[in-house]
Amino acid sequence: MQAIGPLGEIMREWAWGKSTGKGVRVAIVDHGIEADHPAVGGKVRGGVIVEYDGRTKTGVRISDDPHPRDLFGHATACAGIIHGLAPDAELYSVRVLGRDLTGRALQFAGGLRWAIENGMAVINLSLSTSREEYYGLFHEITDAAYFKNMLLVSAVNNIPEASYPSLYSSVISVAAHEGKVPLTYYYNPEPPVEFGAPGIDVQVAWLNKSYVTSTGNSFAAPHIAGIVALIRGKHPELTPFQIKTVLYACASNHKPVARKRKSK
């Protein structure tokens, strides 16, 4: 596989060839990761639990979670996908949801803030809020991440309804396609969804060291997050804007346009 194509375009070998995601810190903001699940390869380095607390200024209370566990299975599925693509990336569990699959938007925001303040290079968000009153709050937080050179990868809503932060241009928005090859992903020329990745009838890790077959945009996002971790591992100097460009150039449906030479 060549690094640079005949038309000077970016190729996958240059983008992430031989990268394992080593040195890249990836946060999974979700239900909490089952740290001893074989699908995550012992790469969970800790995390936090974010609980609602109306007595605090931010509306949340954050406590350390050195030995994370999953309350549902969803976060472990996302972590397993990322580990499968970037086996040396360091995973961090940010639990913002409870056993009943619900959580307050302020918990979500608090977990995202924690990930930003603690230097996570890539943040996987396979969750969202459709509450309009939080549009401004999440816009502010995601912009802060963008300007601190952090990549947020967000799954779009599984139903045709606006959700945040997947609609913001500062994040990488992802929806599911039917493919099964992890590195086969597509660029979408009609935003707001930017990329499509495997997420339909995919086998994923689940609770108690088990595996299930499941469907959802939730499982497409970590495919892109894993690829971003590979790119960051090889090119830590790239900005979020540049990494989006690399993803576009290396998409399975990207067709380079020949440059016209000027006549002398």
Residues assigned a catalytic role: 30, 74, 218
Contact 167, 173 (CB under 8 A): yes
In angstroms, the first-to-last Cα distance of the chain is: 34
Residue with tokens 């090889």: 234
HSE value, Cβ hemisphere, 13 Å, CA-based, for 238? 21
> Could you write out the DSSP letters of every residue in the chain?
--SB-TTS-B-HHHHHTT---TT-EEEEEES---TT-GGGTT-EEEEEEEEE-TTSSSSEEEEE-SS---SSSHHHHHHHHHHHHSTTPEEEEEE---TTS---HHHHHHHHHHHHHTT-SEEEE---B--GGGHHHHHHHHHHHHHTT-EEEEEPPSSSS--BTTTSTTSEEEEEES---TT--EE-SSSS--EEEE-SSEEEE-GGG-EEEE-SHHHHHHHHHHHHHHHHHH-TT--HHHHHHHHHHHSTT--PPPPPPPP-
